[in-house]
Amino acid sequence: MADVNRGDRPLSPHLQVYRPQLTSITSIFARITGVALLGAAVLVVAWFFAAAVGPECYAVVNGLMTSFLGDVIMFLALWALCYHALSGLRHLIWDIGLGLEVETAEKMGIGVIIGSVVLAIIVAIIV
């Protein structure tokens, strides 16, 4: 039989009920960086495509990609790659059943944030 009181029941707890936690925010940000990496990959493919089209097209795209704005975008893409990789490693550790205690999970979240920044800077300096 259909539930006639369906409209009177409260909705499931959502963002207005739960306080954001570091672990949930870092997991959401892992998804955001994954989408951002797709955008960065499109830019790199466009760069290669411009090189295949001809020198004039390549000069325009290369000028944009090697400008200050292009350098900032590529560094942010590098940081997103480092963050996404470290976050994926954290999720892999969770999947095998380790680090699930609240304190450990929060320390791992802080480690992912700090580690991604440090790793991106190190890679940018080396490359």
CB of 50 closer than 8 Å to CB of 60: yes
Tens digit of each residue's pLDDT (9 = 90 or more) over 37-88: 999 999 999 999 999 999 999 999 999 999 999 999 999 999 999 999 999 9
**Nearest C-alpha neighbor of 116 from the set 88, 77, 81:** 81
Task: State the pLDDT at residue 97.
Answer: 96
d(CA 41, CA 118): 22
Biggest CA-to-CA distance, the chain: 70
Task: State the pLDDT at residue 17.
Answer: 73
Tens digit of each residue's pLDDT (9 = 90 or more) over 57-69: 999 999 999 999 9
Sort 23 into a burial class: Cβ within 10 Å, 0-12 / 13-18 / 19+.
Answer: middle
Task: State the pLDDT at residue 32.
Answer: 97
Task: State the pLDDT at residue 78.
Answer: 98
